[in-house]
Amino acid sequence: MRPITLVEYDPQWPLLFERRSKAIGLILGHPAQFHHIGSTAIAGLCAKPKLDIDAVLFSESARHDATEHLKEGGYRFHGDPHDAGRWTFTKDETSYGTRLYLCLPDNEAHRERRLFRDYLGAHPERAANYATLKRRLAEEAGGDWDHYTGGKSDFVADIVRRAKMEISSIENITGW
């Protein structure tokens, strides 16, 4: 079993995201929008030492092409392990690895990950609660990734629900 390691927030993560996105963009061979997601995208939050990036491509054929380019560029392809329409790639890199997800613009999992990130960024007390939960689960799990990930699922679902309610309220107020 691989141990579950969490590291304290590194203020270099946003810059690292910019650098890695540019490098990945050169490999993909297709235009893409890049989004820094996951815990490394939330200021002050502890995270696994891996940068999460969503790359939104604009066609299924572009995603197939990009997959081949990424494999040639040293990324390991893991398929769509969560059956969420996001193709997963990893690359071990100095200091922090990269976990890259390729998806299409209408991908709901991608939308929810952005909502989660933005909500925690706007609600530091919830981000602190998440950090506490992550630390406790990492300690309890003893390398059991299912326990760690599964233990976060209710919290994540609650935050996504709250974020959707906030957006709905704003849309009702502004008439969107």
The kind and range of the H/E element at 50 are: strand 50-56
176 falls within a domain? no
- pLDDT number for residue 116: 98
Contact 142, 1 (CB under 8 A): yes
How many domains is the chain partitioned into structurally? 1
Q: Tens digits of per-residue pLDDT, 19-30?
A: 999 999 999 989
Residue length of the chain: 176
143 falls within a domain? yes
Q: What are residue 76's phi and psi, to 5 degrees? A: -90, 135
Q: Tens digits of per-residue pLDDT, 80-125?
A: 998 999 999 999 988 899 999 999 999 999 999 999 999 999 999 9
- pLDDT number for residue 13: 97
175 falls within a domain? no
- pLDDT number for residue 173: 64
3 falls within a domain? no
- pLDDT number for residue 48: 95
Q: Which domain holds residue 105?
A: 13-169
Which CATH number is 129's domain given?
Answer: 3.30.460.10
- pLDDT number for residue 168: 81
State if pTM tops 0.85: yes
- pLDDT number for residue 98: 97
Judged against a pLDDT cut of 80, whether residue 1 lies above it is answered with: no
Q: Tens digits of per-residue pLDDT, 48-87?
A: 999 999 999 999 999 999 999 999 999 999 999 989 999 9
4 falls within a domain? no
53 falls within a domain? yes
50 falls within a domain? yes
8 falls within a domain? no
- For residues 8-34, one letter each, b for 16 or more C-beta atoms within 10 angstroms of the residue's C-beta and e for the rest, the string is ebbeebeebbeebbeebeeebebebeb
